[in-house]
Structure 1
Amino acid sequence: RCTLLAELKQITSILTELEKHLSSIDYSNVKKFCFNSASKVHREIMKIHKNKLEKLNGGPIGQNYEEMKSKLIHNISSYTLTQTEERLLCRGWDFCIEDNIKNFLDFETDLELNAMKIQSHCHESVFNLICRKIHNASQQLMSTSKHKKIRNLSDEELVALKSLKSNKSIVICKADKGNSIVILDREIYMKKAEEILKGEQFQLLNNDKCHRERETELNKYIFSLVKDVNNPPKTKQQQQQQQQHTPTKNKKTTASTTTSKFTCFQSPP
């Protein structure tokens, strides 16, 4: 990192000196040349790293977005998606943009298993050095990521996500079946929605009280359901049991009590 920073400082100082001595057109051409040469070197390095990783993995790395995009993305709009936007949408609706590392044991195990794949391709001293570097980096990452969310998107994908979110001319919606994504022009989407609303199954309400009346009817119905739940109707067996447990009045006892009441109020002879 220190060497990279030093080189960047040297490049910036050289560019500032060139800006002083060159015209604006020449300076812009020099900047374009530097950018093109740097991007060319970057592509070559990325290609070399990809080939190395594919050899170590024994096959392609990650998901094949070229095959997935024809199945998952259906772009019917006039907007042309970039490769980064297509790759982002191929991840699906359930993709988690930010996540926390909760189980550090699995994380360390995955690192060790992937590091063991390199052992047969390098010298023992080099392998030990790589393991130490990976261990130090993983420990630093775990210490900083305990209470921090880790972003699962690259910088390019994050920019693509923001651009899709700010694009008001398209509508990104989920298909009726499956996990595929459909992209439509907003005007066409609104026209189709209006055509559906103009159908015979819908009716325009001119009365403002209709909503209130409907609301009161629904409230009454809900209250009746609540009463039925709290006081469920009794079965025949429950009614019979209740009749058996209720005390019945005896005719003789009632008669005796009535006579005793009357005798109390009789006058002495």
Structure 2
Amino acid sequence: MNLFKSLRDIYGKTTVKHLRDLENCERKLARHRNHLVYTLRCRDLSLTPPSLKIKCPINTKKAKDIILQAQRNLLRERVRVINNKLVNLKSQKSDLEKKLKAIIPAKSELDKEISSHLARIRENTFEKTKCRHVRKLQNLTERDQNKKSKHGLSTGATEPDLTGTQLKKWVVNLSKYKLSRAQNNVLAKGLDYAVSPTNVCSNEFVIATELACKKLTHPEAIQLRAKVTSALKSSKPPKSNLSKDERQAVKDLKKEDSIIILPADKGRATVILDKDEYNEKVNNLLGDTKTYEELSSDPTQKYKRKLVAILTRLNEEDKITFGKYKQLYPTAENIPRLYCTPKIHKPNAPLRPIVDYTSTIGYATSRWLADILGPMLGNTVHHVKNSTHLAEELVDILIDEGAILNSHDVVSLFTCTPISKVLDIVKDRVSKERWLRDYNQSQGFNLTADDVYS
């Protein structure tokens, strides 16, 4: 609301109306992009959205074929209409942006706030619409499969092709181990595929119930326990979402010690590597003495004492609340764990190192700092969010004849970043920008740029 008040006070109601129109345009663009993807998926999977279904008045095969063809034509027409709508919306967005740029000076504080505000609107609308369309597509696919199963038809048309091109796309076997067909099938589902349990996980429900009972009165707790107990006694495990061969394949893969199964660095492919080769690549990576240094002892306790001292000082100086102090106080002392993901899009599949910081002394503090420093992202003209954003930025750029558009491949970005310079830049940005003051007011804190830097 402060943004619109500032615009109204400085530039008048017309400018506010332009920004509101631009907001609506961003929302419509986000919705239509998701709608286009949903429609194209329906077309590729030979599915008809409920809004385009036509009731067949004649119960003959020829009549049903006519209706089916009509539905496909309507689906193609919808794709064309959405594409035209996107073109019109982009043109409308461009006009509104030009009107605002003509009024508001470029790179001013208001211009940055407007860019950040529109980015949030675009992202939130896109994610909400995406979730809704994903659910719609899943429901539509399930109904289609159930219908075919009911009539004794094969559902293979809507299942992923696990042979040939699709198999190479989703399962990349770089090891000497030969996968069976069932193992290929189960790996193609992805490493985040939730396998249905063979029994009801009673222990998890009991633990969750007891945690909830702590916040209830004694009579309410007794009533809740009785309901949960009754539900568990009558519950049955869900229907298996893996075939018998696939379940056996999972067991066989767990027992195989010669291979390691990893997610690809880019894309959703599953990669199989020989464990010896993986260990050799990791050791070679850590053997780079210019990047990594071998420690003579575990420094966890040292860093814990240092972090506790900083948090205690901030609490004693009333710069953070006691509740936040307790939340950030390090209790877990696990050592950060390194693992690697293979870059299959590059020759010889080099590894990308990733440090798992979960349950370490600085995990809670790192998440808190990420929330504080998050608003700094995306506020520069050089920021590119993803490939879609880059494509949008390049649409209006004309390259001279003979010129070349070059893309640089950065190797080991984070390990090559000078930490001291980055910290100085962060401190400078935090001290100059006002969002830290707004954050303090909203949370009841009194942090300074030096506190964030420490």
Which one has more relative contact order, counting CA pairs under 8 Å at least 6 apart? 1
Q: Under a length normalisation based on structure 2, what TM-score does the superposition of the two structures give?
A: 0.28
Structure showing greater Rg: 1
Q: Under a length normalisation based on structure 1, what TM-score does the superposition of the two structures give?
A: 0.45
